[in-house]
Amino acid sequence: MDKINTLYGKVSKSQLFWPLVALGFVLLFNFFFTPGFLKLEIKDGHLFGSLIDILNRAAPLMLLAIGMTLVIATKGIDISVGSVIAIAGAVAATLIGGKLVFVDGVQQYVTLVPFPLAIGLTLLTALLLGAWNGLMVARLGIQPIVATLILLVAGRGMAQLLTEGQIITIYYKPFHYIGGGYLLGLPFSIWIVAAVLGLAMYAVRKTALGLFIAAVGINPTASRFSGLQVKNIIFAVYVFCGLCAGIAGMIISSNVKCADSNNAGLFIEMDAILAVALGGNSLNGGRFSIWGSVIGALVIQSITTTIYAIGVPPEVTLVVKSLVVIIICLIQSEAFQTIVFGKLNKTGGVVHEKAALKQ
């Protein structure tokens, strides 16, 4: 029993333990109550199934969670990512659109500007929006939630101005590949997430950047006296978060083949923050785990998919989702674990002491 308790203590201390337990619980529930949930099929060289759908649908949220993790690690917050998604989709739709032309008597849609240029300008716009947030927080010293609230409100209005309040349909087929294409049997959006995740992990694990970010989140004053460029680090994480939101915006607009400035990315910033929290990261900054946030995003998307799969009425979907999230958060809470498991340990300790006295 002592060995089991020791092993449990070591495993449970890992930051990824409870996020993986939560994800495993949701998948196990679907295994018993959702027929064919774990079934995978190959059609036309592509993998299909509920698990693939979860990975594909969670791609934008995973990207946001990666960027949000670094922002929160510096004791910041970015609630403007939903508006950045809307702006990125609007910019892409405005630049690409789809102009009908006839080539040898055949109808074809061509982009309004060169496709690589449109993608580059969309990402540049996202970078500039992230830089705006970074400037407000790092240079002007405005509270992160207030600084990003400005872009949250104004950003969606900017997106609506770009689209003139209309839903702009994108007819250019190469753009559809970003959110709806397949590469080596898997959705292309998953490969985009893998590339961004690999880049972020390399930066925080193979360089000193991860240590610098955690140090700024723990104590920015001490970090500054230690020689760290605190303002530059904070500025950089907001720029990166904006870039992640811009990529997510292109995936979403590509998937639905249009730019909807009213609904694209609406309230997704709450899911991104929740994914970081479910990943075991503290909102007070400091130590962080990007992998934990990615798992948290998968947990959220798995819950959403499960709710739809078991036929929960749409009007109560958010209520059920919130209840599940509350349960998962309670399981991860150290205070809750102390209350539940502490009593068990005390009971076991009393029995053990009585046995020792008898001997």
pLDDT score for 355? 41
**What amino acid occupies position 138?**
A
pLDDT higher at 285 or 86: 86
Per-residue pLDDT averaged across 7-14, rounded? 60
What counts of helices (H) and strands (E) characterise the chain?
16, 8
pLDDT in tens, 117-147: 999 999 999 999 999 999 999 998 899 999 9
pLDDT band of residue 310 (cuts 50, 70, 90) is confident
**What amino acid occupies position 253?**
S
pLDDT in tens, 11-61: 566 777 778 888 888 888 888 887 877 788 888 778 888 888 888 899 999
Among 60, 114, 106, 75, CA closest to 244: 60
- Sequence ranges of the domains in the chain: 52-335
- What does the angle CA 112 – CA 114 – CA 118 come to, to the nearest 5 degrees? 85
Q: Are 16 and 296 in contact (CB under 8 A)?
A: no
The pLDDT of residue 235 is above 50: yes
pLDDT in tens, 144-158: 999 999 999 998 889
pLDDT in tens, 172-221: 888 888 888 888 888 899 999 999 999 999 999 988 888 899 888 888 88
pLDDT higher at 329 or 204: 204
Which range is least confidently modeled, 83-87, 88-92, 106-110, 222-226?
106-110
pLDDT score for 244? 93
What would the two tokens of residue 61 be?
């949220």
Q: Topology of 52-335 in CATH?
A: ABC transporter involved in vitamin B12 uptake, BtuC (1.10.3470)
Whole-number Å distance between alpha carbons of 112 and 122: 14
